[in-house]
Amino acid sequence: MPTQTFFNLPEEKKKRLVAGAMKEFSAKPLNEASISNIVKNSKISRGSFYQYFEDKKDLYFFLIGKFRYNYRNLMLKSFQEKDGDFHEGYKLFSEKYIKYIMESEKFGFFENMYLHMNYQINQEARVDFKETKSHKLPNGKRIVDVVSRDNLKMTSDTELIDVLRYILSMLNDTIMEGFWKELSVKETQDLFLKRLEWITYGIAIPAEKEEKE
Amino acid sequence: MPTQTFFNLPEEKKKRLVAGAMKEFSAKPLNEASISNIVKNSKISRGSFYQYFEDKKDLYFFLIGKFRYNYRNLMLKSFQEKDGDFHEGYKLFSEKYIKYIMESEKFGFFENMYLHMNYQINQEARVDFKETKSHKLPNGKRIVDVVSRDNLKMTSDTELIDVLRYILSMLNDTIMEGFWKELSVKETQDLFLKRLEWITYGIAIPAEKEEKE
DNA sequence: TAATATATGTGACAGCTTGTCATAATGCAA
DNA sequence: TTGCATTATGACAAGCTGTCACATATATTA
């Protein structure tokens, strides 16, 4: 978490710093980016940097929080638009989500983020969000409330949340793969949809009749 | 790839170096590990290090290749033991694979590897393997040849390979999660099996009859 | 207004890192 | 022994991080 001092800063200075940091993190992944470059880019003194942020990661997580897509709202809207249908709703969500990330003017930043994101950083960043943002949607609805269970095997909230969460991580993995293989938006969307079909309908041929041997 | 000079080294020196490196990489992830520590641990001069390896990553990938489980053989054996049954075969494979990694005496090394592995490193390492090892199994059989398609929707080799590959990455993701949440071997196995069921049988309730609207 | 307290800005610095390079030591063939 | 290729070495430049004593600005009070 940046310090209060940082948030108190005049807008102009804050912007300069964010821009200088985005420049560095768009060119290099977290490990290779240097504070030295960021303070040079932003024309602030090294000492000041450490008055705003604990370290490089602190700033990085702040930027991720600032620019990451607010997927919850999009997910909610998508499921509502498809009358709670799991497969159609997730499909709609994923198409927009992938498009947003891969066509963003912050492409370099996201690319480095995805290619160098690992489980630990992912989780550390999440903890960060928990502290700063409420997990409730603006209208108070939870995502599990807008997904119809009529044609799903999952009955309990917990089970459904497990599935939704897992599929979100699958989506992010697919985006990673897209960046790595330099796939187009369309190709990445299709790759995800294929996997979504696997998990929705299964890869096994369902037994048509009860058959005893 | 380590240089020929490294491979020519007397066994004792090679072992010292590998041990010194494992000590460092078990205590710290790749980014935090330092060559300075490794050469101190191994009692070799800094100059020599650079005569054996291009950089830190070069050594790291060598170690991964050296100690990583040879999953292909285990996978083949598992499918064969279950008469090619996809679900049962993968289940057997995953249980042994998870157990091997999480109960290894190289726990620290694997833990750091999984928690800090990202897509880019993963792929870079893979390219490394391609150069050094053949992708064929010892007896010449390919994995797709020992998986029965009788009860799978996949017909072509390509499709089946896609599925098998995806599930392997799901397995590795689950192991990551296991390390992060400090799950037991059993809990990690169960988490994976739950996901394997999702993908095998689908999460949607299959339509019983053909219904036109 | 002046005096004091609080908040913010600064760059030199110690201590660490990496990769290189001139030089020294060793092995081996003639 | 001599000569050549291979291997070993640590000092070094150049870079990085995080800190700290000090300078400056802003707010508060007498």
B48-CA/D1-C1' distance, Å: 30
Q: What is the pLDDT of residues B161-194, one digit of tens each?
A: 999 999 999 999 999 999 999 999 999 999 999 9
B88/A contact by beta carbon, under 8 A: no
Residue B4: Cβ within 10 Å count: 9
Q: By the 8 A CB rule, do A94 and A189 touch?
A: yes
Residue A158: phi and psi, rounded to 5, are -55, -50
* Residue A184 and residue A87 in one domain: yes
CB-based contacts of A55, cutoff 8 Å, min separation 6:
A35
Q: Do A203 and B154 touch (CB under 8 A)?
A: yes
Q: Is residue A38 part of a domain?
A: yes
B202/A contact by beta carbon, under 8 A: yes
Q: Do A199 and B199 touch (CB under 8 A)?
A: yes
Residue A119, pLDDT above cutoff 70: yes
Residue A28, pLDDT above cutoff 80: yes
Residue at a domain's end among A11, A31, A54: A54
A27/B contact by beta carbon, under 8 A: no
* Residue A94 and residue A197 in one domain: yes
Q: What is the pLDDT of residues B34-73, one digit of tens each?
A: 999 999 999 999 999 999 999 999 999 999 999 988 888 9
Q: Is residue B212 part of a domain?
A: no
Q: Is residue A212 part of a domain?
A: no
Q: Is residue A137 part of a domain?
A: yes
Q: Do A204 and B152 touch (CB under 8 A)?
A: yes
Q: Is residue B24 part of a domain?
A: yes
Provide mean pLDDT across the span A186-201: 98
Q: What is the pLDDT of residues A3-15, one digit of tens each?
A: 999 999 999 999 9
Query: Residue A13: its pLDDT value, please?
Result: 96
Q: Is residue B75 part of a domain?
A: yes
Residue at a domain's end among B16, B31, B54: B54
* Residue B11 and residue B47 in one domain: yes
Residue A44: Cβ within 10 Å count: 18
Provide the number of structural domains found in chain A: 2
* Residue A49 and residue A115 in one domain: no
Q: By the 8 A CB rule, do B198 and A164 touch?
A: no
Query: Residue A142: its pLDDT value, please?
Result: 87
* Residue A4 and residue A74 in one domain: no
Q: Do B153 and A203 touch (CB under 8 A)?
A: yes
Chain A, nearest residue to B154 by Cα: A203
* Residue B8 and residue B104 in one domain: no
pTM of the predicted protein model: 0.92
pLDDT over 70 for what percent of chain A?
92
* Residue A96 and residue A182 in one domain: yes
Query: Residue B130: its pLDDT value, please?
Result: 65
How many CB pairs below 8 Å do chains A and B form together?
Answer: 99
* Residue A109 and residue A147 in one domain: yes
Q: Do A199 and B198 touch (CB under 8 A)?
A: yes
Q: By the 8 A CB rule, do B166 and A203 touch?
A: no
* Residue B47 and residue B74 in one domain: no
Chain A, nearest residue to B32 by Cα: A31
Best interface-test mutation with A: which of B199, B200, B201, B205 has the largest number of A CBs within 10 A?
B199
Residue A138's pLDDT band (cuts 50, 70, 90): low
* Residue A44 and residue A90 in one domain: no
The CA distance from B26 to B198, in Å, is 34
For A31, the domain range is 1-54
* Residue A28 and residue A48 in one domain: yes
A5-CA/D30-C1' distance, Å: 29
Q: Is residue A111 part of a domain?
A: yes
Chain B residues 120-149 with CB within 8 Å of chain A: 120, 123
Residue B137, pLDDT above cutoff 70: no
pLDDT over 90 for what percent of chain B?
80
* Residue B2 and residue B71 in one domain: no
Chain B residues 159-188 with CB within 8 Å of chain A: 162-163, 166, 169-170, 173, 176-177, 179-180
Residue A207's pLDDT band (cuts 50, 70, 90): confident
Q: Do A199 and B200 touch (CB under 8 A)?
A: no
Q: By the 8 A CB rule, do A167 and A86 touch?
A: no
In this complex, the residue of A114, A169, A204 whose CB is nearest that of residue B201 is A204
Kindly list the residues from chain A whose CB atom is less than 8 angstroms away from the CB atom of residue B163. Answer: 198, 203
